[in-house]
Amino acid sequence: MKSIITKIDLSKLKNETHVEFNESIKRLFIKFNPQTVGIDALYNLYSAALDKELDSLDFIRKSEITSIISEQDRVRDNIYGGLVDSLKGATRHFDPAYSAAATLLLDVFKHYGNIPRKTLDDETAAIKDLLRELQQPALAAALETLGFTNWVDKLAAENAAFEQLMMQRYEQTADKTQYRMKDTRKETDKYYHAIVSQIENMVLVGNAAVDALIREMNTVISRFKHILAQEKGERKEGNL
């Protein structure tokens, strides 16, 4: 039966994941020798396109990650961590009402996983989702019971301040950088798909190296399809 390279929607991968995927695939091409598997001409074009994509990603990173943004991220992480630690401590309170309120709230926080370890934009979105959920009557009452409403208000303020800084940075650089990244990604994808077609055509002439390459490519693709599924999936409970 003819080996087929597993399909993956590269357009759904985040910029850094997209680069990581293609770097993994490029390493396989080098391992099996582009000339041996009959893709040497396309490989050169693919490699050059990926180099341009890497340059675009570096430009985005330098544009977005400034010292002031990093400092504001640290501030909101400290507020979030302090709130979580306070909730953990309150679960051991001698008053059952306090302990029950803390446990209820901590379960909600666990549902969002380790928010500070998310990417900058994902962390902002996760905190906003969390803050909306904490407005539910039962959870708002639990915060009042514990006297932790001020913690939540502070987290909301610092998260809003971070989001504003990012928006200011986007206004200065986003149009230029995102347009550049979009174009370079498209070029990389174009040559990737051309190579996939060429490799699958090579199967027809019989080539052990091609068969082995396809098996390893499918292993890599399977791993990144799992990453993609996680990025698209619902929030999962994780460690705080």
pLDDT tens for residues 187-216?
999 999 999 999 999 887 778 999 999 999
Tokens (6 digits) for 240 = 């705080």
d(CA 6, CA 3): 9
pLDDT recorded at residue 173: 63
Instruction: Give the residue-averaged pLDDT of 79-85.
Output: 96
Mean pLDDT of 85-94: 96
pLDDT of 9 > 80? The answer is: yes
CA-CA distance, 199 to 42, in Å (whole number)?
A: 11
